[in-house]
Amino acid sequence: MAFEPQLVYQTLTSAPIVPVFYHPDAEVTCQIIKACYDGGIRAFEFTNRGENAKEVFKVLRDFISTNYPKMALGIGTVFNALQAEEFIALGADFVVQPCTTMDVAEVCKAQNIAWMPGAMTVSEVYNATLLGAEIVKVFPGNVVGSGFVKALKGPLPKVKVMVTGGVEPTSESLKEWFSAGVSAVGIGSQLFPKAVVEAGNFEEIAQKINTLLTYYQTLAPTA
């Protein structure tokens, strides 16, 4: 299925936990994707952090298209237009940046791809919205803290925030961030403990995700 930008944003609204993951082994990553889907995830961010990231991404694109067409596959850690163009050509449904650059914004707009730029200050968040961002990634969350998001909502009440970095896979952490006003959270290594991944205990990951999403539903009316 084609993921128009609004469909990606709607997907995040219904299941607002985005796994942020990189592994050089495509087969391992496919197992992680299966576990995430089984747990209820519908948007997965693969990060552009390894030399063979593009080769792995190609495998993931085919795997998801064949088995989980209702899951949006995004690419993260994108810094420039060339990287964005390459991964969009490989089938990325959305692009996530640790920063905000105009050239990536323009590529995503021209190709009708959901774009989530990174920001750390009020000025950066505001400038990202001026460039067309519907969801701004506040990063790193563990540095700015949930209090920043709550304060940000004062002058910018309509801005939608996805926070990444420092979000823990616990009910306490989800409550803290969603109560502060975020629209979604990205969770990386803490969601995928190295020992669990190496042991191939993917069912444990699926159960953890399901527990988190179930808990989120209790927060949804006030989030």
d(CA 31, CA 29): 5
d(CA 12, CA 94): 11
d(CA 137, CA 156): 14
CA 55 from chain centre, in angstroms, equals 20
To the query of whether residue 158 is one of the catalytic residues in this protein, the response is no
To the query of whether residue 45 is one of the catalytic residues in this protein, the response is yes
Whether residue 106 contacts residue 84, with contact meaning beta carbons closer than 8 Å, is answered with no
Q: Which of 85, 137, 160, 208 is catalytic?
A: 137
d(CA 137, CA 184): 9
Q: Which of 4, 27, 34, 45 is catalytic?
A: 45
Structure tokens at 121: 């200050």
Size of the chain in residues:
223
Catalytic residues: 45, 137
